[in-house]
């Protein structure tokens, strides 16, 4: 399954995407609506900047033809010439002043456009990341079972960065380049159409070079993205498992594996560099050929007085400016292509709807804390609606194609009782607690919390009734107090201190340099496993839940810490409905009921002494853990009796 997930992830990262997808672009542009004023100002700035860029060579042409050579009648009739002085010195000074003003105006417009679009891009990126993260938080646990964490992080970071680059450097620059090209083509054709056609004669060769360039760069970028994904995966796996790498002296092998994927990235990037190194000189050579043709043919026209010197100089300048946007458009093509692929992945995530949602009209339970399982059948397989309906209507849900984790489970936990769940690994113990919290929906049967089916609850209201202490303690970057409060501002500092005292960790917290404000690093790396677990117990107690779930909460702590936890458990479960999932039977002997799970079925239920007297599954589990101790009233089982019934 892990290999399948990795293959799917790499396949998605390999997708290059279309250079332009109208459906995706229209959806992306909706994120610009809150900032349409800034975008409109930027577009106006781009329009006037393009006009300013086209104006420079035209001013040169007017200056040369009007004041530096014998002016023609057409030159005097031009709009600009009619407003200039007839005196050469004064006229040239006026044109120079206009040129300088156009440059200053162009600089100001570029500043406005760049600032506003970068500002808008950051706003859009902020909005999009917030939407993605909020959407991810709404997804049910099954979604995270199927989607690796690294893939989701990539959606929030790298893919959104690609979209930001499109907004700030892609679409706007393409619009500007197209305007400049259109303006230059229009002016050149108006000046001298046949000389313009000569200048454009190299365009087919440039388009051919661009097509080849795009093909090779597209392939190189695909390989670069794939290599980066593999580098990130390798780093995440080996850095998080560094203790195992060093324990088994695997450093050299790990380095060789990393060097292999790193070299793939290097080679892909070198191929991209080679493509750029060949493409840009090719465009420069072709543009130089165009200029040479203009000088050759246009110069002969000047000598024959069919072309003015000003037109020839303007054409040379326009030709230099004409081919620069074409080069830029090739770069923008890659930006647009990457953005389309990124947007497709982002929108696919945003369009994925959570499978567990609150009903349109949620109801509230009676507040008792009672839990009931009625004929519950559950599988982690993703089944379609028709299959689920068939299972619910069927008298026998047994199906060879479905891997049932729970089979026809029935039990009740009365308010204030403590129920323990035991069984071999894979028996379905943790699944029971996950279903109570509605992390998943059952395919058949019903789970009632406080007299109401969990599917009729508002999901958040349902989970507020619970507090959970997991086998692997989870702490976040922050402080000790913030990890206990966990965003619930109604929990006061006094309540936090009382909770830590009750779970026997208050003295330790107060001994820290910062006390309850002591910084906690990522995953609580500065604390021991036992200390982290006790803080998790304090968190559960501080939230004062009606129902408490302890999911193998003592399996990862040492014996001394376990003694402290056991004394804290008495305070935790007092007055609450409690569900304790445990491997260590020493922590659950005082439970009101012990549920013994085996291969997804509830095989036994009773108190500790009742189950020992039955000499069944629980008795064997107890015997395996305490074989050197006498079991009161149970005798010593024979070796044949250790076989589990039904195996």
Provide the pLDDT for residue 77. 55
Task: Evaluate if residue 20 carries a pLDDT over 80.
Answer: no
> 532, 503 in Cβ contact below 8 A?
no
Q: How far apart are CA 535 and CA 509, in angstroms?
A: 9
Provide the pLDDT for residue 354. 87
> 486, 467 in Cβ contact below 8 A?
no
Find the angle CA(71)-CA(76)-CA(77) to the nearest 5 degrees. Answer: 140
Q: How far apart are CA 268 and CA 265, in angstroms?
A: 5
Q: Single out the residue of 148, 174, 502, 564 nearest to residue 339, CA to CA.
A: 174
Task: Evaluate if residue 159 carries a pLDDT over 60.
Answer: yes
Helix axes 88-138, 36-63, angle to 10 degrees: 160
Task: Evaluate if residue 176 carries a pLDDT over 90.
Answer: no
List beta partners, residue 423. 597
Greater model confidence, 631 or 26 = 26
Residue at token pair 């047994």: 398
Greater model confidence, 155 or 370 = 370
Greater model confidence, 13 or 473 = 473
pLDDT in tens, 232-279: 777 877 887 787 888 888 888 889 989 998 998 899 888 888 888 888
Average pLDDT over residues 365-393: 83
Confidence band of 568 (pLDDT split at 50, 70, 90): low
Q: Single out the residue of 422, 460, 407 nearest to residue 555, CA to CA.
A: 422
Q: How far apart are CA 497 and CA 297, in angstroms?
A: 90
What residue ranges do the domains of the chain occupy? 22-192, 358-465+584-647
Give 474-530 as a 3 state SS string: CCCCEEHHHHHHCCCCCCCHHHHHHHHHHCCCHHHHHHCCCHHHCEECHHHCCCCHH
Domain 358-465+584-647 has CATH 3.40.50.300: yes
CATH T-level assignment (fold) for domain 22-192:
ABC transporter transmembrane region fold (1.20.1560)
Residue 588 region, left (φ>0) first, then alpha (ψ -120 to 50), else beta?
A: alpha
Task: Evaluate if residue 633 carries a pLDDT over 60.
Answer: no
Lowest mean pLDDT among 116-130, 204-218, 260-274, 606-620: 204-218
pLDDT in tens, 61-120: 888 877 777 655 555 455 566 667 677 788 888 888 988 999 999 999 989 988 998 899
List beta partners, residue 449. 371, 452
pLDDT in tens, 511-541: 888 888 888 887 777 777 778 888 888 888 8
Provide the pLDDT for residue 15. 53
Q: How far apart are CA 119 and CA 121, in angstroms?
A: 5
Using the 8-state DSSP alphabet, how is residue 644 labeled?
P
Average pLDDT over residues 163-184: 82
Residue at token pair 């498992």: 241
List beta partners, residue 413. 371
Provide the pLDDT for residue 646. 39
Confidence band of 643 (pLDDT split at 50, 70, 90): very low
Would you list the DSSP string of 255-320?
Answer: HHHHHHHHHHHHHHHHHHHHHHHHHHHHHHHHHHHHHHHIIIIIHHHHHTTSS-HHHHHHHHHHHH
> 458, 362 in Cβ contact below 8 A?
yes
* φ, ψ dihedrals at 448, nearest 5°: -110, 130
Provide the pLDDT for residue 72. 55
**With pLDDT > 70 as the criterion, what percentage of the chain qualifies?**
87
Would you list the DSSP string of 123-182?
Answer: HHHHHHHHHHHHHHHHS-HHHHHHS-HHHHHHIIIIIHHHHHHIIIIIHHHHHHHHHHHH
Average pLDDT over residues 609-625: 87
Helices (H) then strands (E): counts for the chain: 26, 12
């Amino acid at each position: 399954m892990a290999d399948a997930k990795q293959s799917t992830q790499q396949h998605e990262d390999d997708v290059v995407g279309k250079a332009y997808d109208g459906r995706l672009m229209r959806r992306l542009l909706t994120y610009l609506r809150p900032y349409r004023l800034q975008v409109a100002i930027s577009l106006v700035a781009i329009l006037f900047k393009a006009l300013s860029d086209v104006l420079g060579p035209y001013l040169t042409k007017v200056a040369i033809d009007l004041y530096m050579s014998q002016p023609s009648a057409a030159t005097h009739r031009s709009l600009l010439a009619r407003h200039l002085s007839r005196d050469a010195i004064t006229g040239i000074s006026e044109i120079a002043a206009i040129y300088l003003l156009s440059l200053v105006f162009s600089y100001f417009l570029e500043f406005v456009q760049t600032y506003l679009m970068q500002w808008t891009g950051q706003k859009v990126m902020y909005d999009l990341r917030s939407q993605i993260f909020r959407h991810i938080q709404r997804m049910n646990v099954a979604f995270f079972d199927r989607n690796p964490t690294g893939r989701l992080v990539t959606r929030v970071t790298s893919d959104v960065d690609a979209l930001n680059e499109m907004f700030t450097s892609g679409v706007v620059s393409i619009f500007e380049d197209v305007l400049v090209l259109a303006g230059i083509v229009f002016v050149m054709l108006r000046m001298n159409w046949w000389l313009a056609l000569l200048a454009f004669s190299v365009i087919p060769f440039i388009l051919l070079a661009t097509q080849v360039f795009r093909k090779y760069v597209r392939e190189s970028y695909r390989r670069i993205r794939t290599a980066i994904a593999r580098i990130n995966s390798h780093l995440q796996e080996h850095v998080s498992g560094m203790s195992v790498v060093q324990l088994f002296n695997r450093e050299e092998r790990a380095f060789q594996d990393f060097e292999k994927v790193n070299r793939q990235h290097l080679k892909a990037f070198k191929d991209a560099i080679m493509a750029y190194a060949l493409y840009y000189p090719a465009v420069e050579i072709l543009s130089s050929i165009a200029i040479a043709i203009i000088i050759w043919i246009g110069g002969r026209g000047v000598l024959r007085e069919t072309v003015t010197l000003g037109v020839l100089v303007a054409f040379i300048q326009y030709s230099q400016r004409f081919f620069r946007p074409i080069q830029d458009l090739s770069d923008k093509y890659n930006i647009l292509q990457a953005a389309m692929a990124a947007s497709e992945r982002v929108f696919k995530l945003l369009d994925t709807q959570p499978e567990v949602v609150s009903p349109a009209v949620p109801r509230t339970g009676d507040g008792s804390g009672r839990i009931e399982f009625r004929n519950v059948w559950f599988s982690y397989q993703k089944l379609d609606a028709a299959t689920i309906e068939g299972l619910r209507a069927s008298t026998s849900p047994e199906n060879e194609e479905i891997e049932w984790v729970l089979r026809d489970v029935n039990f009740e936990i009365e308010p204030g009782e403590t129920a323990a769940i035991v069984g071999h690994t894979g028996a379905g113990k943790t699944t029971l607690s996950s279903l109570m919290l509605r992390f998943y929906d059952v395919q058949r049967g019903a789970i009632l919390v406080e007299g109401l089916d969990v599917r009729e609850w508002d999901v958040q209201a349902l989970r507020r009734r619970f507090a959970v202490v997991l086998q692997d303690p989870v702490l976040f970057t922050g402080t000790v107090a913030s990890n206990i409060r966990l965003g619930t501002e109604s929990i006061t500092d006094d309540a936090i201190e009382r909770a830590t005292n009750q779970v026997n960790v208050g003295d330790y917290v107060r001994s820290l340099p910062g006390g309850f404000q002591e910084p906690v690093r990522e995953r609580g790396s500065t604390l021991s496993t036992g200390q982290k677990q006790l803080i998790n117990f304090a968190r559960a107690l501080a939230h004062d839940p009606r129902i408490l779930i302890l999911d193998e909460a003592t399996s990862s702590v040492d014996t001394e810490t376990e003694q402290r936890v056991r004394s804290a458990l008495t305070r935790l479960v007092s007055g609450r409905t409690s569900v304790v999932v445990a491997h260590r039977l020493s922590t659950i002997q005082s439970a009101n009921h012990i549920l013994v799970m085996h291969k997804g079925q509830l095989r036994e239920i009773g108190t500790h002494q009742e189950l020992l007297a039955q000499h069944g599954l629980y008795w064997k589990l107890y015997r395996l853990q305490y074989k050197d101790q006498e079991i009161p009233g149970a005798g010593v089982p024979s070796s044949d009796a250790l076989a589990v019934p039904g195996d």
